[in-house]
């Protein structure tokens, strides 16, 4: 997996083994802490991905 993390909680995830690319644009998911490395978006995303692939 490859990841890029940008300003205001923007993300790009590339998961070659699953032929998957995830792009998140928009406002920070936690405006009080926009540069936090792992956000609520990440937790929700991985829960949903795990539910589909497992």
Tell whether the model's pLDDT for residue 54 goes beyond 70.
yes
Q: Model confidence over 4-49: pLDDT tens digits?
A: 988 777 889 998 988 999 998 877 766 676 555 666 778 888 888 8
SS (H, E, C) 1-54: CEEEECHHHCEEEEEHHHCEEEEECCCCCCCCCCCCCCCHHHHHHHHHHHHHHC
pTM exceeds cut of 0.75: no
Q: Model confidence over 43-52: pLDDT tens digits?
A: 888 888 888 8
């Amino acid at each position: 997996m490859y990841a890029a993390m940008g300003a205001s909680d923007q993300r790009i995830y590339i998961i070659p083994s699953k032929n998957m690319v995830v792009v998140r644009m928009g406002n920070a998911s936690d405006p009080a802490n926009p540069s936090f490395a792992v956000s609520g978006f990440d937790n929700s995303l991985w829960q949903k991905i795990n539910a589909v692939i497992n």
